Amino acid sequence: MKAGFLLLTTTCVLFISTARAATVALWTFESPNIPPTVTGTSISGLAPNAGSGTASGVHASGSSVFSSAIGNGSAHALSANNWAPGDYWEFHVSTVGFTDLQLSFAQRSDNIGPTNFSLTYSLDHITFTTIGPSFFEVRADNSLGTWNSSTSNTNTIKTFDLSATNVLENAPDVYFRLTSTFGNPPSGTSRIDDFSIMATAIPEPNRLALVALLALLVSSRCLRNYPVMKTRPRPRSVLVSVLLAGAAVCPFAARSASSVLLSNLDQQPGDPSSAFISSNVWDGQLFITGPQPARFDSVTFSIRGGFAGTFWVTVYSDDNGVPGTPLPGGLLSGPTHPSGLSTYSASSSITLAPNTTYWAVGSTDEPGTSGQSYGMYMVLNSNYTASAGWQLPNHLAYTTDAGNTWVSTENALIPRPFYISVSGQVIPEPPAAALLIGALVLVSLLRRRM
């Protein structure tokens, strides 16, 4: 019986390995999604920094100013003044494919800003249901609510466990509102930051079916052979269970081989001249990821070389159609004096979000006097090959002041992209094949007398 129990335990491990924590949506209000300054009754269309959804704010007063302000240990948060009872922040997401929601956010007001808010949800944007008490208190500056750009203030963070609110799970439209229940002077402001919706991703049906089949096979076989089972588990049974449990998890953690996710290196003809790059003039090529997260490994450019200065390639975020800021670990390793096809690789892990624009930027410390310096070659057409959903727009961007301001060539008379290849690996869901292999091994084992 103990051997059977061990096998059933292995089945549970196989099931657990199919579930994973995931971000439904996260608004940090940092680049490239810094809130604009808007005067009026509302602000809308604020995209999250991770996941998908939209954020908005609605006030009664047309004099309200919505803007960016210092966040909770960060440079930006969403801020507004002119609060009246009934004014609110709203966050709209889809939870299809998710269960067991967890909600958190940071919120503070100045000394004359609103301090009482209610948290509600709706599935139809008409009827809203209160979560928790009728209101919760928001810390003000004079009650340990001060924010700065370097240190997070934990006093201002609110968390809500919504795992028992089943109606929020697997729903196409979920709206969360933070509504002021208290009036304040027009000059009073309130800010919100790091609005996060986490959940457990629902395993795909084929994995659940395999797990259910495996559990059925194990339990039925164990019951059938119960009269002849020995009272002590065989060491081999214990070993096999442990190995299978490890096999269920290890394939998902292993680093899979790199592959080309997007490339136009095979396109002809190329532009015989190259885009100039110097200590002040940098060039960048944008690319857009597909519907799944991906691991970035390397990028390849065709470079005009033969110069003494050091050349770098860095991966940037997007800021409204031009390069924004370098990603953590975005400075890549590669030849310092390149010429021809040159590959630059990530020295640390870089994970790219789905359906997101990124930039690969070439720069150098070569002064470029007399017009002589590095350059990157362009292709004269817009064709490319790519992994599903990946895109290579047919334009680029450049800066003439070392990255302080950028110019896009999207509206140029003849826009064209650089020669480029991006390699990495799309991050898949745990493969159902792993469960199937585990099931076959267990079935084979159970054919013997335990």
* Placement of tokens 């795992």 in the chain: 163
List pLDDT tens digits, range 93-124.
999 889 999 999 999 999 888 989 999 999 99
Q: 1.20.1530, 2.40.50, 2.30.30, 2.60.120: which CATH number matches 259-418?
A: 2.60.120
Starting at the edge strand found earlier in the chain, the sheet holding 323-331 runs: 323-331, 311-318, 357-364, 282-288, 396-399, 407-408
Per DSSP, the three-state class of 46 is strand
Q: Which of 357, 425, 367, 341 is nearest to 395 (CA)?
A: 357
| Tokens representing residue 317 in the block | 């975020």
For strand 139-140 and strand 98-109, is the pairing parallel, antiparallel, or unpaired?
parallel
Q: What is the mean pLDDT of each run of 10 residues along the chain (450 residues)?
A: 49 49 87 92 92 93 95 94 94 92 92 91 95 81 83 88 92 95 79 93 58 55 48 50 47 62 86 87 95 92 88 94 93 90 90 94 87 88 86 94 94 88 82 56 58
Per-residue pLDDT tens for 193-240? 999 999 888 765 555 555 555 555 555 555 455 444 444 445 555 445
In the CATH scheme, what is the code of domain 21-201? 2.60.120.260
Domain boundary assignment for the chain: 2-16+207-254+431-446, 21-201, 259-418
Same fold, 21-201 and 259-418: yes
**What sign has the CA pseudo-torsion 157, 163, 165, 171?**
positive
